[in-house]
Amino acid sequence: MGSTPFVFLEATINTPKEKVWAVIVETPYAKSLGKHFNQEEFFESEWMGNSRAKLSFEGPQEKSNGSIMMLFGNIYLQIDNAFSGQKYVEKILLMNDEDETQSKVQLVHGPYADNIAEQQSNWETWLAEIKTSSEEI
């Protein structure tokens, strides 16, 4: 059937998941990270760790809805997107190791119609910056 047009990535980061999450969502980091995808508009949410928050965004060519929640003690984010008529999903799972000194980040994004190599590269760069920024704070 051929390769699946999804991006699957995983990284171990030498800091707890809460610091990784802060890097992903705090405005200075988020805006810097979003530039890898030519994004100038960002979700905003008042998510608290023990609740579930709904996200919604609508731009000129894109409509997105998502959720952030704790899932068995892990942070889970899922965003369902429709961009120029193409639907795709972004899923991020953040987990701590047993002693809570390291975290594991797992990403699954797609399907991508015709630019999977570019998307793979963008997400690899994004994840590398998340790792570097998380380990510095």
**CATH fold of 7-136:** Alpha-D-Glucose-1,6-Bisphosphate; Chain A, domain 4 (3.30.530)
Higher pLDDT, 3 or 88: 88
HEC states along 62-117? EEEEEEEEEECCEEEEEEEEEECCEEEEEEEEEEECCCCCCEEEEEEEECCCCCHH
pLDDT of the residue at 36: 45
pLDDT over threshold 70, residue 35: no
pLDDT over threshold 70, residue 29: no
pLDDT over threshold 60, residue 16: yes
**Residues 18-31, mean pLDDT to the nearest whole number:** 75
pLDDT of the residue at 11: 96
**Using one digit for the tens of pLDDT, what is the confidence trace for 50-82?**
666 677 777 777 777 777 888 888 989 888 888
Structure tokens belonging to residue 63: 């409509």
Handedness of CA 65, 116, 19, 35 (dihedral sign): negative
Question: What is the SS3 assignment for 29?
Answer: helix
Task: Give the separation between CA 32 and CA 100, rounded to whole angstroms.
Answer: 27
Question: Which of 33-37, 48-52, 75-79, 104-108 shows the highest mean pLDDT?
Answer: 104-108
pLDDT grade for 113, boundaries at 50, 70 and 90: confident
pLDDT of the residue at 93: 94
Where do the domains of the chain lie?
Answer: 7-136
